[in-house]
Amino acid sequence: GQIEDRSARGQLQASAALATLGYVATIYVLPTFTPFLARSGLTGKDLCKKGTASAEKEIPEGTGVIAGTMFLICVVILQLFYGRDSSDKMVDYLSALLSICFMTFLGFTDDVLDLPWRYKLLLPTVATLPLLCAYDGSTSIVVPRPLDHLLVAVGAGGGGDSVLTLVGRAVSSVFSITVPGKLGGVVLLDLGMAYMVYMGLLAVFCTNAVNIYAGINGLEAGQSFVVACAILAHNMHELRRGRDTGNHTFSAMLLLPFIGTTLGLLRYNWYPARAFVGDTYCYFAGMTFAVVGIHGHFSKTLILMFLPQVTNFLLSVPQLFKVLPCPRHRLPRMDTEKGLLVPSTMPYKSEFPVWQFLRSGPDGEVINLTLINLVLHVVGPLRERSLCTLLLALQAASCGFGFVIRYYFAGLVYGS
Ligand code: UD1
Ligand code: MG
């Protein structure tokens, strides 16, 4: 089919044109400004190059601030094509812009100050405030099928005073959750304030998930590029089907310049990296995903596109919460003799069978619990560039898998 809405088509064309400009601008502007980052001491050593001549080089860090700025310029100009007909749309657009801008600023702060990890969690929470305070959309979610009858029954009956119902009622009143009526055959649950909390958590998750799935050249920007393309494909598909056109146009309009500027950055971050993207970029990317997922009302699809990041996060939990020792860097280790990357390890002794599988290195240590190390552990030592390509292929494959779930299985659970 065709994309119905003419104005949507024009908006997407404008966005695509600005995305191209964003790409070209990033390519030209980035090398001009990176020396200034380096001059003020914002540099990092390429830790996966140990034993080679590149190991001593100071590489400019936080260059995501340049890609982020180019993105913001594109999106500010895009206002000329969006939301002129409705002040509601304009409020959504500007609050999205402000949240991404706020996050980029706090990300850069983190690169400069190198904040401890407990504060890192706070930054995205603060940066989603503009989005949450301006949010005027639906706070309802569709209840999955096996649960909907149950919820309607509880809602109608008000049911008894078992401990469970009492707790349920208390939670509902604190967050002003209302149990639903039916709309077109699906049961909607209005989460009220709890939906706001959920949106805040989504932003915290997206930003940090990108940031901790990192450490080899090209991975931060590369994964964001793949995820952004996958979400864009989802938006275009929904637009063709004529569903929720406003939301999907909004999302696609933001993603196109994001893809353009990310590609520009990737040219310098790809192996061998001449620029590190920094936490600035990871937060900027994560917040862009959260914003389009929230405003586009497809946060569950968004999480499906994040399968490797979700896996990496779940693997990391014991180290993040200090149940197991967590060194400052968990990126792979260079085996200088072979010139290949191998998993980095942490000191941990346990007789538990699962740890036997994760044992590595001469002293029988355990690998740092990241997806990158796990892939290396299973596949064997790799060159940095091959590892990055493999991980990006894995990302693309899991996005494809996410689509299968979204389009073939969601109907069974959600009846839509
Ligand atoms: C996160 C990870 C950390 C990982 C780091 C790498 C957690 C809890 N934290 O920390 O394990 O080591 O990212 O980005 O999982 N670097 C490279 N090559 C690259 C990219 C980065 O060597 O391709 C090094 C550089 O020295 C660079 C530094 O990592 O300066 C950036 O680390 P930073 O982003 O500050 O680390 P975190 O995000 O705190
Ligand atoms: Mg980082």
Q: Whose structure tokens read 């180290």? A: 319
- The neighbouring-strand residues paired with 333 are 342
Question: Is the torsion defined by CA of 210, 286, 309, 196 positive or negative?
Answer: positive
pLDDT, tens digit, 9 for 90 and up, residues 300-321? 999 999 999 999 999 999 999 9
Would you tell me how many other CB atoms lie within 10 Å of the CB of residue 62? Answer: 25
In angstroms, the CA 236 to CA 2 distance is 11
From 131, 128, 120, 391, select the one nearest 280 (Cα to Cα).
Answer: 120
| pLDDT score at 1 | 40
Among protein residues, the one whose CA lies closest to atom 20 of ligand 1: 215
Residue 189 pairs with which residues in a beta bridge?
Answer: 141
- Whether 211 is in the pocket of ligand 1, judged by its Cβ within 6 Å, is yes
Residue 276 CB–ligand 1 contact under 6 Å? yes
Q: What percent of the chain has pLDDT over 90?
A: 70
Note the helical H segments in 213-244: 219-240
What string of DSSP letters covers 125-136?
HHHTHHHHHH--
Average pLDDT over residues 392-409: 94
What b-and-e string marks burial along 247-257, b requiring 16 or more CB atoms within 10 Å of the CB?
A: bbbbbbbbbbb
- From 66-75, 77-86, 263-272, the region with the lowest mean pLDDT: 77-86
Residue 373 in contact with ligand 1 by CB distance below 6 A: no
Ligand 1 and 222: CB distance under 6 A: no
**How many angstroms does the Cα of residue 132 sit away from the middle of ligand 1?**
30
In tens, the pLDDT along 106-142 reads 999 999 999 988 888 899 999 999 999 988 878 887 7
- For residue 388, the one-letter residue type is C
pLDDT in tens, 174-218: 766 666 566 556 777 788 888 889 999 999 999 999 999 999 999
Q: Reduce the DSSP state of residue 85 to 3 states and report it.
A: coil
- In angstroms, rounded to a whole number, what is the distance separating the alpha carbons of residues 174 and 268? 49
Q: Best substitution site from 114, 204, 211, 269 to test ligand 1's pocket, by max atoms within 8 Å of Cβ?
A: 211
Q: What is the pLDDT of residue 153?
A: 63
Q: What are 60's strand-pairing partners?
A: 43
Residue 158 has pLDDT above 90, yes or no: no
Confidence at residue 264, expressed as pLDDT on a 0 to 100 scale: 98
Q: Which residues pair with 178 in a beta bridge?
A: 190
What are the backbone angles phi and psi of residue 392, rounded to the nearest 5°? -70, -35
List the structure tokens of 284.
């900027």
pLDDT tens sequence across 312-371:
999 999 999 999 999 999 999 999 999 999 999 999 888 788 888 899 877 879 999 999
Distance 90 CA to ligand 2 centre (A): 32
Q: Which token pair is 145? A: 């099928």
Of 34, 118, 276, 341, the residue with max ligand 1 atoms within 8 A of its CB, to mutate for a pocket test, comes to: 276
Q: What is the pLDDT of residue 7?
A: 86
